[in-house]
Amino acid sequence: MDPYASYDPDNPGGPANHGPNGSPAGPGYVPGHTPAYSDPGHGMNPAPGPGYVPTPETTHNIGYPPPVPPGQGPYPAPYQGGAPGMPPQYAVMPPSGSGIPAAGWIGIVLGAVLVVGLGVAGLVFSLDRSETPSSAVSDTGDTWSDASGSDPTETAAADPVADALVGDCFYNYGGETTPELETAACGAGAFETVDIVEGTTDLSSCDGMTTVDLAVSSTGATRVLCLSYNVIAGDDAYHAQVGDCVYGTSASGSPWNVIDCQDGAFKVIERLQGESSISACTESTYYIYGVGYSTGESYLDTTLCLQMMYASGDAGYAEIDDCMSMNSDYTYFEFVSDCGDGNIYVTGRTNEIVDGESWCNGWGWAYEEVPDFPELSYTICWGYL
């Protein structure tokens, strides 16, 4: 890079340090990589620096204190299936008493008791079938089969769809098209019931709900459960949509969160369903970071392609020889489609915080530090058009 490069409108593609444009610096967390910055929790980009008129004067800093949401890290650990839920509970009818008194009765008294005992047994099994349990146990403990011939000890498990309430959670031991739900504690790897549509089995009833990842119905219940996947505890950026802003840090296995759009936040510019690799993000001027969620199920994998909302505007994405419009405070820069619409051009760039006054050697300069993502920090030199 040559900080002394002069602007030549007939050769705009002169020496360039490509930085984040087309080849983003630090495009997301790489498993096993230790971030260069080891002190999270100090805020988002707390000290962006303005540009200045090319004179020996020292610049001043501007600051802003956007809150850091709870949790740190964009790359959740792969879903391992979670702990199994509670197994179905079967209710078995207890044995009935014989009604026979203790030994010691003799003669006609014993005979009368036996007759009574037989009469009671006959009464039990001659009840109307609509009022008789599907299984019963004799005095000796033998199992009686009902008219259907099914084993009465295998009482059918409750239908999770029929019995579910909003807020109930499940593990899915099946797939997207053949779900097998089992009741589970809410948490990472579980699906939470966020809505129930009654009177239908049409799975499209959940369409349009941005937090819904799976819709389930059953033949035994005319209702549809709309289920939201919890990829990692405390994370809600997983369901962020294009235009939403999110924040986290590069610590592996920690959550990201949706926050208000503000300086220092990341804006979602592309959401890729079914992708877990940030390499799938479209190369563009503003793509600078990616968050990939790998779940073990491709239909749940999601990648967010992100733009950093630099306080200094487009300066964080500028390359050598780019023409820009700079405000009168020398603190905010925007790309222009034609150099005739700009007032400065970029003469040097590095993805580090350096002594701009000496490094730029008389040219104007601007910088912005990104403490949680030091690879996204930059210093640029500029000159007037």
Banded pLDDT at 320 (limits 50, 70, 90): very high
CA dihedral 234→239→240→242, nearest 10 degrees, is 170
Banded pLDDT at 1 (limits 50, 70, 90): very low
Q: Is residue 190 part of a domain?
A: yes
Summarised one tens digit per residue, pLDDT across range 215-269 is 999 878 899 999 999 999 999 999 999 999 999 999 888 899 999 999 999 999 9
Judge whether residue 300 has pLDDT over 90. yes
Mean pLDDT of the chain: 72
Q: Is residue 187 part of a domain?
A: yes
- CB burial of 222-251 (b: ≥16 within 10 Å; e: otherwise) equals ebbbbbbbbbbeebbbbbbeeebbbbbbbb
Q: Which amino acid is at 71?
A: G
Q: What is the pLDDT of residue 13?
A: 44
Banded pLDDT at 46 (limits 50, 70, 90): low
Banded pLDDT at 144 (limits 50, 70, 90): very low
Give the residue-averaged pLDDT of 74-79. Answer: 32
Q: What is the pLDDT of residue 252?
A: 85
Strand bridging mode 221-229 / 214-218 = antiparallel
Banded pLDDT at 43 (limits 50, 70, 90): low
Q: What is the pLDDT of residue 385?
A: 96
Query: Is the Cβ–Cβ distance between 306 and 292 less than 8 Å?
Result: no
Give the residue-averaged pLDDT of 86-114. Answer: 37
Q: What is the pLDDT of residue 219?
A: 77
CA distance 325 to 319: 14
Q: Is residue 111 part of a domain?
A: no
Q: Is residue 277 part of a domain?
A: no
| Cβ-based neighbours of 353, under 8 Å, separated by 6 or more | 367, 369, 377, 379
Judge whether residue 302 has pLDDT over 50. yes
Query: Is the Cβ–Cβ distance between 353 and 45 less than 8 Å?
Result: no
Query: Is the Cβ–Cβ distance between 258 and 304 less than 8 Å?
Result: no
Judge whether residue 73 has pLDDT over 70. no
Q: Which of 330, 341, 325, 336 is nearest to 365 (CA)?
A: 330
Query: Which residue in the block uniquely carries the two structure tokens 């820009």?
Result: 324
Q: How many CB atoms lie within 10 A of CB 306?
A: 30
- DSSP states along 290-355: EEEE--SSTTT-EEEEEEE--TTBGGGG--TT-EEEE-TTS--EEE-SSGGG-SEEEEEEESS---
Judge whether residue 4 has pLDDT over 70. no
Q: How many domains does the chain have?
A: 1
Q: What is the pLDDT of residue 310?
A: 97
pTM recorded for the entire structure: 0.64
Q: Is residue 339 part of a domain?
A: no
Q: What is the pLDDT of residue 49?
A: 56
Banded pLDDT at 156 (limits 50, 70, 90): low
CA distance 354 to 49: 12
Lowest mean pLDDT among 131-140, 153-162, 257-266: 131-140
More confident residue, 120 or 380: 380
Q: Which tokens belong to 89? A: 């509970």
Query: Is the Cβ–Cβ distance between 264 and 309 less than 8 Å?
Result: yes
Judge whether residue 304 has pLDDT over 80. yes
Q: Is residue 11 part of a domain?
A: no
Lowest mean pLDDT among 41-45, 115-119, 331-335, 336-340: 115-119
Q: What is the pLDDT of residue 57?
A: 37
Give the residue-averaged pLDDT of 310-317. Answer: 97
Q: Is residue 87 part of a domain?
A: no
Which run of H or of E encompasses 120?
A: helix 107-124
| Cβ-based neighbours of 370, under 8 Å, separated by 6 or more | 44, 45, 264, 308, 376, 377
Give the residue-averaged pLDDT of 306-318. Answer: 97
Bridge partners, residue 252, by sequence: none
Rounded to 5°, angle at Cα 104 from 100 and 108: 75
| Cβ-based neighbours of 11, under 8 Å, separated by 6 or more | none
Judge whether residue 377 has pLDDT over 70. yes
Supply φ then ψ for residue 206, to 5 degrees.
-95, 0
Summarised one tens digit per residue, pLDDT across range 168-191 is 999 999 999 999 999 999 999 999
Q: What percent of the chain has pLDDT over 70?
A: 59
Q: Which tokens belong to 318? A: 């500028």
CA distance 359 to 367: 12
- DSSP states along 360-381: TTTSEEEEE--TTSGGG-EEEE
Q: Is residue 275 part of a domain?
A: no
Query: Which residue in the block uniquely carries the two structure tokens 């990616």?
Result: 290
Residue numbers of the domain that contains 189: 160-229
Identify the three-state secondary structure at position 119: helix
CA distance 63 to 48: 6
Judge whether residue 372 has pLDDT over 80. yes
